[in-house]
Amino acid sequence: MNTKEETINIADAKRRFSEIVGQVAYGNKRILITKRGKPMARLISAVNTRPHLAEARGWLDEDDPFFELIDTIIESRQKHTPRVFKDL
């Protein structure tokens, strides 16, 4: 999948919304929407998205070593005191 990305500002996106949705849906494009030059949102096709992690349910057996590793990571994180960030 060779997807092109275009960057447009939010005001232009509002004016051209129908056109932009068509480009994304049928033209294999991604649109990065910015506000004052800062990225705010990305419009991507619903058809060409990667599967969500929840769709992987059933791929692993209950006794898969993956779950033991995850449990170890969680236990390790619970033993450590979380960092506290000071307000700037």
29-63 pLDDT tens trace: 899 999 999 999 999 888 766 666 666 677 778 78
pLDDT at position 48 is 63
Bridge-based pairing of strands 4-9 and 29-35 is: parallel
Instruction: Output the CA–CA distances (angstroms, integers) from residue 19 to 8, 37, 40, 43, 53, in the order listed.
Output: 13, 21, 19, 12, 31
pTM: 0.52
Backbone angles phi, psi at 38, to 5 degrees: -100, 135
Q: Does domain 4-43 bear CATH number 3.40.1620.10?
A: yes
- Average pLDDT rounded to a whole number, residues 69-84: 84
Instruction: Output the CA–CA distances (angstroms, integers) from residue 26 to 4, 47, 48, 50, 56, in the order listed.
Output: 12, 10, 10, 17, 27
